[in-house]
Structure 1
Amino acid sequence: MKEFAVYKGEEMLAMGTAAECAKVMGVNPEYIRWLTTPTAKRRLAKRKNPDKCVVGDVIS
């Protein structure tokens, strides 16, 4: 089972499975998985203030 870490800048918002992170953040698990996709990473790179964006990483 994949584990995710979700950050906003340097602050960790949630860590755990997609369902656990989604419950903490009040979003769908699909959104947590989407945060780790190449598309999400490209969109983040184009932002003026990427440190204010929500970012997800797969940790296991």
Structure 2
Amino acid sequence: MVQEFAVYKGETLLCIGTKEECAEELNVQPEYIYWLTTPTAKRRLASRKNPDKCTVGIKL
């Protein structure tokens, strides 16, 4: 089964697909898409000044 991801910037949906598809769309490495879904990324997001403007990844 292929894992799919959704990437948002604030309330705006940037892309949906596999980490490779999202990485190609956003011009980043696939590992970055996966990293956006980790607990570490979530903690860093919570500590930012404007978390509503951050890029966030969600596993579907």
Q: TM-score, normalised by structure 1?
A: 0.97
The gaps in structure 2 that reach 5 residues or longer are none
Match of 2:22 in 1: 21
Match of 1:52 in 2: 53
Paired residues in the alignment total: 59
Match of 1:6 in 2: 7
Q: Distance in 2 between matches of 1:50 and 1:19?
A: 25
- What's the CA shift for 1:55? 0.2
| Structure 1: 4+ residue segments shifted above 6 A | none
Over the aligned positions, Cα root-mean-square deviation in angstroms equals 0.4
Q: TM-score, normalised by structure 2?
A: 0.97
